């Protein structure tokens, strides 16, 4: 019995030794490498091959080195720069390594086009006339991007507003109102000498005030002499007559050429005008109310 067992053990040992011998003697013969994963510009690839012995079928794997020329390129359209936004050069962008390339696969480092202060998006704006009550707009081009305005020659404009306002004419004496009145040529609104005083800013009541005012006045300024009749004197150049306002109210204009107007119309040109008892007296006319006296040539 013991001997039988010994024999069985021997047989098993011999068989297992034979099997091991067969296994040890097999030398794998591998087939062609098959690429499992192509290498890219950022990642290694992978290839594998198998033992051609179907009972073995052993697999070998090997990494394929990074291929720095194998990018995943996506086309990017070119965008022009404007006055407010940067542009982009048309190019190919690799989604893997992030590099950019031109059409010849040459890497480009800068695809941004700087903003261009001359590339406006101009919209024409038509002229709007100003009225007495509302501002107008000059004809121009408006950039919808940067908001700047330009004339038709491309020069930048700091303002396109035509200021509103009345077009008042010269003050004309209103005999009934005993007042000087200016009328807007557009809407016929009127203003009296006291309403908008820019044309008659200076009120003179005596000779000392007159000298002060004349010294401070500029060419073209008007001087209002406070008398019982309104007389305006216009400064011409740096010259002014020696205007004397003595108690008897005589206005001595010296040797200056004097133009006397009445209700806006010319009556007399002469050299001798006096103010007597509140009325202008010339060599040629009886005293009348409502004269304006301009010293020198009326501007």
Binding site for Zn ion (CB under 5 A): 28, 41, 51, 53, 56, 58, 71, 83, 94, 96-97, 120, 132, 143, 145-146, 166, 184, 186-187, 189
Q: 233 near 222, Cβ under 8 Å?
A: yes
Q: Which residue number, 187 or 244, has a Cβ lying nearer to Zn ion?
A: 187
How many distinct helices (H) and strands (E) make up the chain? 2, 26
Q: 218 near 235, Cβ under 8 Å?
A: yes
Q: Which residue number, 94 or 204, has a Cβ lying nearer to Zn ion?
A: 94
Q: 183 near 169, Cβ under 8 Å?
A: yes
Measured between alpha carbons, how far is residue 23 from residues 19, 56, 169 in Å?
6, 10, 123
Cross-strand partners of 167: none
Shortest distance in whole angstroms from residue 35 CB to Zn ion: 19
Shortest distance in whole angstroms from residue 124 CB to Zn ion: 14
Shortest distance in whole angstroms from residue 95 CB to Zn ion: 8
Shortest distance in whole angstroms from residue 120 CB to Zn ion: 3
Shortest distance in whole angstroms from residue 54 CB to Zn ion: 9
Which residue number has the CB closest to Zn ion? Answer: 56
Shortest distance in whole angstroms from residue 134 CB to Zn ion: 11
Q: Which residue number, 47 or 148, has a Cβ lying nearer to Zn ion?
A: 148
- The span from the CA of 122 to the CA of 143, in Å, is 4
Helix, strand, coil percent values for the chain (each to nearest 5)? 10, 35, 55
Shortest distance in whole angstroms from residue 221 CB to Zn ion: 24
Q: Which residue number, 105 or 127, has a Cβ lying nearer to Zn ion?
A: 105
- The span from the CA of 55 to the CA of 50, in Å, is 11
Q: 133 near 154, Cβ under 8 Å?
A: no
Q: What are phi and psi of 58, to 5 degrees?
A: -70, 140
Q: Which residue number, 168 or 232, has a Cβ lying nearer to Zn ion?
A: 168
Q: Which residue number, 96 or 195, has a Cβ lying nearer to Zn ion?
A: 96
Q: Which residue number, 128 or 146, has a Cβ lying nearer to Zn ion?
A: 146
Per-residue exposure over 240-272, b if at least 16 CB sit within 10 Å of its own CB, e if not: bbebebeeeeebebeeeebbbbbeeeeebeeee
- The span from the CA of 78 to the CA of 80, in Å, is 7
DSSP 28: -
């Amino acid at each position: 019995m013991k001997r039988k067992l010994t024999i069985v053990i021997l047989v098993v040992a011999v068989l297992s030794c034979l099997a091991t011998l067969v296994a040890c003697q097999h030398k794998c013969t591998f087939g062609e490498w098959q690429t499992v994963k192509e290498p890219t510009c950022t990642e290694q690839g992978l290839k594998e091959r198998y033992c051609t012995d179907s009972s073995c079928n052993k697999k070998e794997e090997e990494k394929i080195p990074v291929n720095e020329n194998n990018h995943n390129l996506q086309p990017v359209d070119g965008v022009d720069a404007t006055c407010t936004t940067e542009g982009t050069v048309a190019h190919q962008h690799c989604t893997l390594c992030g590099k950019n390339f031109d059409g010849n696969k040459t890497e480009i480092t800068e695809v941004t086009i700087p903003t261009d202060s001359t590339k406006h998006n101009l919209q024409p704006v038509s002229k709007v006339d100003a009225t007495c009550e509302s501002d107008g707009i000059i004809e121009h081009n408006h950039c919808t991007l940067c908001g700047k305005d330009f004339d038709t020659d491309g020069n930048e404009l700091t303002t396109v507003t035509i200021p509103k306002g009345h077009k008042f004419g010269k003050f004309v004496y209103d005999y009934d109102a005993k007042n000087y009145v200016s009328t807007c040529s557009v809407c016929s609104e009127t203003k009296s000498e006291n309403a908008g005083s820019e044309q008659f800013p200076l009120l003179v009541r005596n000779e000392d005030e007159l000298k002060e005012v004349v010294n401070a006045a500029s060419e073209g300024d008007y001087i209002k002499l406070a008398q019982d009749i309104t007389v305006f004197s216009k400064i011409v150049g740096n010259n002014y007559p020696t205007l004397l306002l003595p108690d008897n109210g005589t206005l001595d204009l010296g040797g200056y050429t004097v133009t006397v107007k009445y209700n806006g119309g010319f009556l007399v040109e002469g050299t001798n005008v006096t103010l007597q008892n509140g009325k202008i007296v010339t060599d040629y006319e009886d005293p009348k109310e409502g004269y304006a006296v301009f010293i020198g040539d009326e501007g």
